[in-house]
Structure 1
Amino acid sequence: MRDGITFHDGTPFDAEAVKKTIDRILDKNAPTPKANMFGMIKEVKVVDPHKVQLILHYPFAGLLSVLASAEGGIISPKAIEQYGKDLSKHPVGTGPFVFESWTPGQEIVLVKNSSSMTLGRYESFAVDHIGMNVTKKPFDDVRVRQAIAHAIDKEAIIQGVYNNVGKVAVSSLGPKVIGYSPNLKTPDYDLNKAKQLLAEAGYANGFKATVYLNDNKARINVAEVLQSQLKGIGIDLQIQVMEFGAYLDLAAKGQAQMFISGWGNATGDADYNQYNLFHSTSKGVPGNHSFYANPKVDELIEAGRKEKDPQKRKAIYEQAQQIEIDEVPLIPYRSSENLAAIAKNVQGITISPSGYVEINDVTIQ
């Protein structure tokens, strides 16, 4: 850690702060949503005020990308003690703006700490997808899931809903993510093939189903397009729009037949998507809302975590992604882009692929 850095509350940004942050994440008596991401860490040792040693349960090639991302953000020890469970309402950082207040649904007020400012078109790590709960009929039959994949015209969604902002997704990984492969074979838009697969699965006349989603306007529009497209193969799709928290709760409990969602990536590494979306231990709250489980995929994801050679890791993740595409727990349809309106007198602002507005180099003319 660099010398002389302090949090906005005056607390030193040092090795003790790193240890307290990670120990808090791994506290089994009060687990946080990030516990799954840091589970490979066995112990944090303070070597000196500006150096820590991380002892791991097993090798994890993606550790540095996690620590360098917002997921690895270090928290002020003073703030942890002061705010407890309300910490998310009182963020304390080290950057150019200091948090002043937050009125949910209305505004966040930041006060200038040193210098900076806010927006263009920037490629993103995030991918939007349509999911199916593989434990619920008729989606427990892979042929039904494959039929739906063949019945979705992704190009029409990108053009009609997003006005060509974003690109057709190849897999659950965006093109900028480490582990992405352009060599994957994805289902073509083919209604005849879709109808054939449904007939083979015993649903020649289609069936009724419900897709769940949160009250995001774009996703509501996607649901309406999906409803129209699936009607072409005899599927009567009902749309259930919910408040975001209620939707997440329902999906995490495995109560959603189909769902429209997305997954960002704060680290830029394949593990962030693969482990949370597809590993069998991530069913429910961590992110595997398809309740998908495949021992071979688990094995590959775990191997990808431990492999140090970048090319070997890429090959491992390519194999895992191809299995996921073939078994269709999720249908990735859009690699997203981040848009921002930037005043002409504002220079140097960008949005990182992980979706964060980078304001450290901003100048105002």
Structure 2
Amino acid sequence: MRYRVFRALALGVVAVAVSSCSQAPAPVQITTHADDYGQPLGTQPVHEGGDLVMGLSNDPDRLDPTTSSSLYMRYVMSTICEKLYDNDSSGKLVPQLATDLPKFSEDGLTVTIPVRSGIRFADGTPFNAAAVETSLQRHLSMEGSQRTGEMGPITGIDSDGQNVVLHYSTPFAPITAALADRAGMIMSPTALKDEGKDFGDHPVCVGPFKFQQRTVGSSIVVERDPLYYDAQNVHFDTITYRIMPDATARAAALRSGEIQVADTMSPQDADALEADPKMHLLVSGSFGFQGFYINIGNADGAGKPVKPLETPLAKDDRVRLALSLSIDRQALVDKAFKGWYESACTPIAPRTTYATTADTACPLYDPERSRKLLADAGVQTPYPITMQVMNVADQLEYAQQLQTMVAAGGFDLRIVPTEYSGLLAAQKSGNYEALLLGWSGRLDPDGNIARFLSTGSSGNYSGFSDPAMDEVLAWAAHTTSPARREALYEQAVRLIGRENPYIYTYRLRNLTVHSNRVTGIEVYADGTVRLGKAAFVSDRNS
């Protein structure tokens, strides 16, 4: 499957707020910013060795590809745990631990994946098709797995010396894209046997680096792996991921030289960092989205049978639609993020495969209609909603702006600052009413929709269940016709806009900064900061 390049540019010199019968806020002056995904090292001379320190904006959950749901885990694992496939800077899927793209049988029910031979995991265990089969079986069947739904309706997995073969009950078009993410991370079968469910405490995979140690809440250290098949192109001795949730502190640490790279920089700091001659700002669009979950039926934990909650917000789609109509997305994102991000209203990223006008359009900002919907629903206004929000400055600022905006539509938004780990726990357990948290995005739309909205999915954090949605998403995953998939995703977006289990509000751009002492760092639209082949600049270039 071919994917178009995703290059998310800001919307222009002047952002015009979406409006309807209500007067929209005055437009905010913004400036366009070109994408810069970074460049591979190529043939430039670099310094061998050294210890890189990255300021990581949040502490990852457990470093287990099967159970993780954290973007920040992907940052760390990108250096120690390669996947069957990856995506490149153009948004194209490419082999990594596989040797070629999958081969689909004529009926689409058998998928054959050729894998590398003659390489080893960091613990010396041979990498082969049997090891891949072991990891994929774990992703598919382990209790608590977050990967099961991503892999589709698999009926069996087997392997021979050089191939892994997936058997399906119905065709599953998104499998290649799924294997370019955590479902495609292959773990040492020896370590899996020794560690079991504790694998994430001592992960062992194939990668340019290997896990050394972790101090929860403080740092994660990885060291160069001499067994890596491309070790001659790995340059750092170690990489330390230092947990630094405060964006201002990360910016200050960059300027002082305490750290050499930092992710998720604040739009409030981005202009100054971009102008700093000692820094290099990487800017990439995102396949993902930001917004907030509404807990509709997640009473016993994500993936468990739904139990509809009895609050008006949970049981009445008019209340959720009213909340959506209370948000002037473009005006809000421009004010809160100084034009570095863009508004979003659906899980389909613009300028990507399957994006159409119909499946990326925003609802009109209409607080008057919002108040009428609340009246029709018979709820007292202002209607109170408690929203958990990541306890970092940018997110709290955005939530406060959102709080002010939705008040005009008849809502009393109550903000609860929460640590990132607490948000992850709340969304999985269902211990929340509304929760502001996004998704870094995947190449295939299935990875941005089915995971969150299919009945019974381990990532269905809203507890949403709709047979019509299940049928549409199943057909979209089973057909290989681009035109048919495009039409089906338009249907899915219409269903989402009717039910609003998740309210999409903006799409960030990945803002990563590194010192000019470092080169070879890349960040693509999947959001992962790639450090594995980076290096310190040679003294001859200083």
**Structure 1 residue identity aligned to 2:358:** N
- Determine helix, strand or coil for the equivalent of 1:340: strand
1:242-261 alpha-carbon deviations (Å, 9 max, x no partner): 34444444444444222211
In structure 1, what is the Cα distance between the partners aligned to 2:461 and 2:335? Answer: 27
Greater shift in the superposed pair: 70-79 or 208-217: 208-217
Q: Indicate yes or no: 2:313 matched with 1:200.
A: no
Q: 1:191 to 1:246 in 2, by over 3 A?
A: same
Report the equivalent of 1:242: 418
Aligned 1:1-365 pairs, distance under 5 A: 1-27=115-141, 30-38=143-151, 40-48=153-161, 50-113=162-225, 114=231, 115-116=234-235, 120-134=282-296, 135-139=309-313, 140-175=315-350, 178-184=353-359, 185-203=361-379, 205-265=381-441, 267-282=442-457, 286-359=458-531, 362=534, 364-365=537-538
- Structure 1: runs of 5+ lacking an equivalent: none
8 Å contact kept, 1:25–1:31: no
Q: What displacement does 1:73 show?
A: 0.6
Q: 1:51 to 1:245 in 2, by over 3 A?
A: same
In structure 2, what is the Cα distance between the partners aligned to 1:263 and 1:244? Answer: 13
8 Å contact kept, 2:287–2:525: yes
In structure 2, what is the Cα distance between the partners aligned to 1:342 and 1:240? Answer: 32
Q: 1:12 to 1:181 in 2, by over 3 A?
A: farther
- Determine helix, strand or coil for the equivalent of 1:230: helix
1:265-321 alpha-carbon deviations (Å, 9 max, x no partner): 3x4111112112111223xxx232322222211110011110111221122112101
In structure 1, what is the Cα distance between the partners aligned to 2:372 and 2:204? Answer: 57
- Determine helix, strand or coil for the equivalent of 1:37: helix
Q: 1:116 to 1:149 in 2, by over 3 A?
A: farther
Q: 1:102 to 1:173 in 2, by over 3 A?
A: farther
Report the equivalent of 2:103: none
Greater shift in the superposed pair: 170-179 or 76-85: 170-179
8 Å contact kept, 1:198–1:206: no
1:112-155 alpha-carbon deviations (Å, 9 max, x no partner): 34315657111122211123234442222222212211111222
In structure 1, what is the Cα distance between the partners aligned to 2:499 and 2:352? Answer: 22
**Structure 2 residue identity aligned to 1:43:** G
In structure 2, what is the Cα distance between the partners aligned to 1:249 and 1:349? Answer: 31
In structure 1, what is the Cα distance between the partners aligned to 2:461 and 2:403? Answer: 20
Greater shift in the superposed pair: 337-346 or 15-24: 337-346
In structure 2, what is the Cα distance between the partners aligned to 1:71 and 1:22? Answer: 7
In structure 1, what is the Cα distance between the partners aligned to 2:340 and 2:130? Answer: 44
Q: What displacement does 1:19 show?
A: 1.0
In structure 1, what is the Cα distance between the partners aligned to 2:349 and 2:386? Answer: 27
Greater shift in the superposed pair: 207-216 or 59-68: 207-216
RMSD: 2.4
**Structure 2 residue identity aligned to 1:317:** Y
Q: What displacement does 1:39 show?
A: 5.0
Q: What displacement does 1:227 show?
A: 1.7
**Residue correspondences, number:** 359
8 Å contact kept, 1:212–1:240: yes
Q: 1:177 to 1:91 in 2, by over 3 A?
A: farther
Q: 1:331 to 1:42 in 2, by over 3 A?
A: same
- Structure 2: runs of 5+ lacking an equivalent: 1-114, 226-230, 237-260, 262-280, 297-308
8 Å contact kept, 1:97–1:112: yes
Greater shift in the superposed pair: 82-91 or 205-214: 205-214
In structure 2, what is the Cα distance between the partners aligned to 1:201 and 1:355? Answer: 40
Question: Structure 1-normalised TM-score?
Answer: 0.89
**Structure 1 residue identity aligned to 2:116:** R
Question: Structure 2-normalised TM-score?
Answer: 0.61
**Structure 2 residue identity aligned to 1:42:** T
1:200-232 alpha-carbon deviations (Å, 9 max, x no partner): 223474322212234344332222222211222
8 Å contact kept, 2:158–2:166: yes
Identical residues among aligned pairs (%): 29
Q: What displacement does 1:18 show?
A: 0.5
**Structure 2 residue identity aligned to 1:126:** G
